[in-house]
Each structure stands twice: as C-alpha cells, then as structure tokens.
Structure 1
C-alpha cells in the first residue's frame, strides 16, 4: 500500500483483521436471519400463495405480459419517464440561469434570484402541481412538469451555488486577471468544477425528481403508481402485495441505473481534458486552471495575450 493510501488511516494489523472478519460474519448471519424471519412471517400470513401468479399468468382475461406492459409502458415510460425527460432539461437550463443571476453585479437581479430560490424551495411540489391544474387551468402533464421544474430548479440552483462557494477564491480572481469576463470565468472555470464537486448531490436530486412524479397520481396524472393502483383495483385486494412490490422493484431499478449513469459521467468528467485534474490529488492551482480556460477560449492556438 502506498503512502498516499495510508494518509487517512493506518494499515490494520492481524488483530484488527480478525475483528473485522468476525464482525462481517456476525452482520451477515444477522441479515440472513432477518430475511429468513421476514419470509417465514410472510409465509405464515399466506402472503406467499398463488396471488403472485398475477405477475406471470395474469387473471381476468389478462396474461402476465399485459400486466408488465401496463406497468412498464403505460406507467413507467408514458407516465413517469415522460415527465422526467421533459422536466430535467428545463431544470438544468433554468438552474444555470438562476445560478448566474445569483452572482450578477446588479443587486436587483441577485435579490430576485435569491428570493426565487428560497421561496420555491419551501413550497411542496404537490401544491405547485395543484396550482397548475386549478389556477392556470393546465392539463395534467404540464401541471406535473410545472411542479417538478419550479421546485427542482430552486434546489439545483442552490446546489450549484454551494459548489461555486466551495471553490477557492483564487479561481475567479485568476480568470479575471487574464482578461476573462465574470460570466466567462463562471462558465469556463467555476461551473465545471462546481458541477464535478456537487455531482452526487445533483444525481440525488434527479432521483428525488423521478420519485416526485408519483405525486401526480393525486391530481389524476397517470404514472407508475396510478397504473399500479388501477391494476390492483381491477384484480382485487389479493394482488396488492405483488403489484406494489413489482412497482417498488421498477423504481429501485431505474434509480440504480441513474446512479450507474452518474458514476460513468463522473469518470468521463475526471478524464476530460477540458477540466483540469490535479496530479497529486490536491486542488488545481487557480492560475493554471485559468490559463487552460483562456487557452481553450482562444481556439487552441491563440490564448489570452
């Protein structure tokens, strides 16, 4: 193990290794016991009976494919993911504008952006959806997207602002010193680093946005949760557990795919030549990063002079 890997903690000795192995065995046995107890309790209550056939054989004229088609296509794709695909790009653009406005030299612009962020972060998404349906008299999909966009724009803008605030002040000063405008300094130097720093929080917020689409069920929007409810109302109360579990598995699978996408994206950003990476794991020197940004702004051969 290299010295860099030993900075935060010491190499465990034989006693510590034995203790860690013992703890792993204890926790593994405990988890297996808990799972076995849950399965046994479900079996005793009759939950593991033939009601699960609704997911594979169907019932009342429907086969298993019809059930999964309604869950995956009608619920997930045409309901949940449709709203997410529309909302996420709008949130990204508006949050970027709001973040830039928070750094604007004009006080009225900064105060307006600050007020928007702090007001709409505190309003429930469902209330915004109701506002779209009742006050604006919009259809269900625009109302759902409106609620998701307004709330998540405020949250994402605050995440980006926190990422920019976490950067050393020398980053901005170096960009200004070589002739970049404040806007160019933010777009070319500060924001790429802030996005990379706050990427886990940004991905978590996308997951929150995806789950918040289920609130559209309350105003009548047909998404995964609404389709699940319609199905178990049709098949009967005995199908509630299988269908709800199937919906939970779908939600978890999609969120895991989003997490994997975030890991892949973070790896690409770390390898990107447009984002300066320190060789020793420390902070990138501000003048060096500003020089790279200026070099890129000059088209590769003609940087700032």
Structure 2
C-alpha cells in the first residue's frame, strides 16, 4: 500500500492508525473518568446543594456579576488598545536604523518581558502613593485600581506584541523591501505600505492569542481590589447565609471567562478570513515621489 508523505513526516500506516486510535480512546476515557470523579467529589461535599446555588437566581446577584463582567471588559479593552499601540511603536523602534533608538527599545522590551506581571501590577498599585510629592500628581492611579491593572497589562503585553509584530515583518521575503527601495521608496513608506500590513496580517493569530491572554490576566485585578469578575466571585463565595458558595461562584465566573475567550477567538478567525478575502486582487497605488496612496490599482505608480 502506498503511503502519502507529508512535509514533516510520513503518513501513518494501518498499525500506527490503530495504535493512535487506541491511545485516543484511552485518553478520552481517562479525561471522562477524571471529570466524573471531580463531579462526584463536588456532589459528596455538597457543592451542588440548592442553598449554594440560590444566590444566582436573584436580580441583585446577577447585576453584581454583570457589573464585574463590564469592569473586566473595560480593563481588557483599554489594555488591548494601549498594548497594540505600544507594541507597534516598539516594533518600529526595534527595526530602526538608529542604534540608540534600537538599543533603548531592546532594553525596554527585555525588561518588561522579564518582569513578572503580578509584581508589576503591585508596584504600580503601591508606588504612586510614595511618589506623589505634588497635590494631584498620579491621583488617577491612587483613586482607581483599574489603572494599575491596565498600565501593567499594557506594558507587559505591549512588549510581547512588539516581538510578534517584529517577527511578522522579519519573516517577509527580503525581495519585497529591496524592490521597494529600488523604486525609490523611503523606509517609512516601505514599512507603512508594504511590510507592516503584511506582517500584522501574517501574525494576526498570534496577536489575537496574546489578546486572549490579556483577557484572562485581567483576573489579577482582584488582588488590588479591582471589582472585576474574580473579585465578584470571591465576594459571593464569602456569603455565610448561602453556605460559602465559593465553588459555584468559581464555576459561574469560569464559564463566563471561557465563553468570552471563545467569542474573542471566533472574532479572530472571522477577522483573519475577512482580511484575506478583502485583500485578494487589491493592490494600492503609491506615488514614489510623494509617497501618497492613490487608491486601489495595479501596482506602484512612478
């Protein structure tokens, strides 16, 4: 029987397929068994008692969870916008021809990528109170715990996004930039019109994956009393009148996190397909002399 070869390995034969099927069935059985054991232990410890689940049918509790979701999404949206802007600036600086700019950006990226996110958020939460020598200075951070969380997420994820964007640009064939330079385009024109759009599009799955990480990292806000979803779950779990429903609250909030991440991943898939479909057959005309975009056309206008 002829076997079809793939790029990295040969297609499995009958024995390998049978072995893979057995391993898959055993893996699913072990996973189902582990899940059944967890459900059994929850039932034995009374985590499914009606008393622990009664709070979630009240409007006030539902509104509390909704407010926590709004706070989570607000911090997430701000952190995503700031991190993408910061990432683009750092990526451009890392690719700069000027050594001081490139070295400064490299030091910034290296420092904040190595800094643990939790320590960074705590520092931004505690330090402004010690640095405020003038009235009103940094009060916006002291008064609202959302800003230490947003700034910390933006700094950390911005450096990661910068490396993603830089990797996407460097992965492009060098012939594109060389051809553009040969036509007389300046570097900022090559980056703006040719390299950056393609680099971001090629790295879009990685960029969106980091955005999902940003969404999950907003849960660190509960440590600095920011009233996001995890903070609300902890508060609900401390209600004595309902038998300390910490596990039910964690299940509800965890489900909301999972659904939110799945929606974001679905949007990423749709966006990637939309951009790929929208760019087919469309090439921008660029005036080499002025660098202005002349609209959709067949190529580069000289």
- Distance in 1 between residues matched to 2:116 and 2:227, nearest whole Å: 20
- Quick one: which of 242, 246, 257 aligns to 2:248? 242
The match for 1:299 is 295
Query: Does 2:223 align with 1:227?
Result: no
Shift of 1:5: 9.3
Report what 1:76 is aligned to. 69
Residue 110 of structure 1: SS of its match in structure 2? helix
**CA spacing shift, 1:147–1:172, aligned 2, 3 Å:** same
Partner SS, residue 222 of structure 1: coil
Tell me the distance in 1 between the aligned counterparts of 2:7 and 2:191. 33
Cα distance change of structure 1 residues 270 and 205 upon mapping to structure 2, 3 Å threshold: same
Residue of structure 2 in register with 1:35 after alignment: 35
CA RMSD of aligned residues (A): 2.9
| 1:85 paired residue number | 77
Could you list the runs of 5+ residues in structure 2 that have no partner in the other structure? 129-137
Q: Which digits, 9 at most, give the CA deviation of each residue in 1:181-230, with x for residues without a partner?
A: 21121122222222222222211211221122222222221111111111
User: Where does the alignment leave 5 or more consecutive residues of structure 1 unmatched?
Assistant: 58-62, 277-290
Q: Separation in 2 of the partners of 1:300 and 1:254?
A: 36
Shift of residue 248 of structure 1?
Answer: 0.9
Report SS of the residue matched to 1:272: helix
CA distance in 1, matches of 2:85, 2:195: 17
Partner of 1:285: none
> 1:154 and 1:28, CA in 2 relative to 1: closer, same or farther beyond 3 A?
closer
Matched, 1:161 2:155: no
**How many pairs does the alignment contain?**
281
Find the counterpart in structure 2 of residue 259 from structure 1: 265
Q: TM-score, normalised by structure 1?
A: 0.80
Alignment of 1:43-192 (within 5 A): 43-57=43-57, 63=58, 65-71=59-65, 73-77=66-70, 79-133=71-125, 134-135=127-128, 136-137=138-139, 138=141, 139=143, 140-192=145-197
